[in-house]
Amino acid sequence: MKTIAPTLNSTAPQPAGATTAVLLCFVSYTPDPVNDIGTYMPGWKIVWNGIQTEDGNYAFIAVDPTGDTYALAIRGSLPPQDIFDNWDAFANWVLEDLDVITRVKWQYASTADAKVSNGAYTAFTNLEDMTDSFGSTLSVTDYLTSNAIANGKQVLIAGHSLGGNIANVYASYFASTLTSESDPTDKVSLYTFAAPAAGNADFVNDLDAKIPAAWHYHNANDIVPNFPVAGTVFLTGLLYLPSPAASAVSVTYDDCTVTLREAFFLLSGVFLFYGYLQPKNNYTIFGTNLYSEYMDNTAEDWFGQAGAQHALANYAGFLGVMLPVLPSQPMVQNV
């Protein structure tokens, strides 16, 4: 298999919370998180369990065995493999589910012109409106504030893929609610894996300032965290060389046929006007091997490679965690 060299911060020691966070993200994808969490994270217990929204958003709050840490885990709204069926599926995911062409003002930032994508804002609203299957009348925020912050406990926020995108937006909001001396933001940590960018520079600068204890993980071969940042979308067209090569694959969208590389270059030009950026705090890029079963110059193999690289197991493997394979998610496995 071809190796992509590790890059920024790939050999730096990682915080213990990252291991916890990646396992929480894994549990969010299991068939029955309420019961499964005890199998994969002994002693942990889900205490607030969200009812999945119409858009497929799901989240839960869990408590560690000591009772000192409350964790909010936010699942991506689509199973990872569904995003990479073909170019149409991926393009629809970017332009419709993420809804990055429309931006809205982010009112929970102290910076002047903070904006997030309309898709991120919609998902954040879904999370805030989510109800607890256990019957609690408290929202996610009210539960964390009443049970964790009010009692001096730690709050860990984690998400993978679209869940990471939502985690960044929600963490910004949650930090903005902690305004009194009894509600310190140093009790909050944030971990995202393969998260698409949620907002512009003003949003990112505000998030970085509010939550310094944040770690963001990006597999260099994963195309999802490249979006919708213009510069990294451009580089997406250069991935996986010499094969599968985006320049050797043709795709059609809205009756326009171009090479996959040209499609990413064109998208990069579109996104240039929107100014999306990734957070800077502890933004960690690491390298992986390419999967040998996806090495032909075909659209199927290019998107197969992209889907395999997006799997949470690649992020877990970087942190030294071996994830079990879920029958419903064959791509959630280690390289």
The neighbour count for residue 328, using CB atoms within 10 Å, is 11
Average pLDDT over every residue of 186-204: 96
306 within a domain of the structure (yes/no): yes
Taking residues 182-194, report their average pLDDT: 86
Q: Average pLDDT, whole number, for the chain? A: 89
Query: Considering the chain, what percentage of its residues have pLDDT values greater than 70?
Result: 89
With a CB cutoff of 8 Å and minimum separation 6, the contacts of 204 are: 197, 277, 278, 279, 280
Q: Is residue 88 part of a domain?
A: yes
* The predicted structure's pLDDT at residue 297: 95
Q: Residue 120: inside a domain, yes or no?
A: yes
Examine the pLDDT at 8 and tell me if it is beyond 50: no
Quickly state the pLDDT bin for 11 (edges 50, 70, 90): low
Domain assignment present for residue 311? The answer is yes
Split into its structural domains, the chain has a count of 1
Q: In this structure, is residue 69 part of a structural domain?
A: yes
Assign 334 a pLDDT band (cuts: 50, 70, 90).
Answer: very low
pLDDT of residue 328: 53
- 252 forms beta bridges with 257
pTM equals 0.92
Among 58, 56, 92, which residue's Cα sits nearest to residue 72?
58
Q: Would you say residue 191 lies in a domain?
A: yes
DSSP 90-152: HHHIIIIIS--SSEEE-TT-SSTT-EEEHHHHHHHHHHHH--BTT-----HHHHHHHHTGGGT
Identify the weakest region by mean pLDDT among 26-40, 248-262, 297-311: 248-262
Quick: pLDDT tens for 74-97: 998 666 566 787 777 777 677 667
> What is the CATH number for 85?
3.40.50.1820
Residue 4: the pLDDT is 37
* Euclidean distance between the first and the last CA atom of the chain, given in angstroms as a whole number: 11
CB atoms within 10 A of CB 244: 24
Averaged pLDDT for residues 6-14: 56
- In-domain check, residue 237: no
Residue 54's pLDDT band (cuts 50, 70, 90): confident
At 328, phi and psi to the nearest 5?
A: -80, -10
Cβ(211)–Cβ(108) below 8 Å:
no
User: Is residue 331 a part of any domain in this protein?
Assistant: no
**Domain, as residue range, for 113:** 16-226+278-318
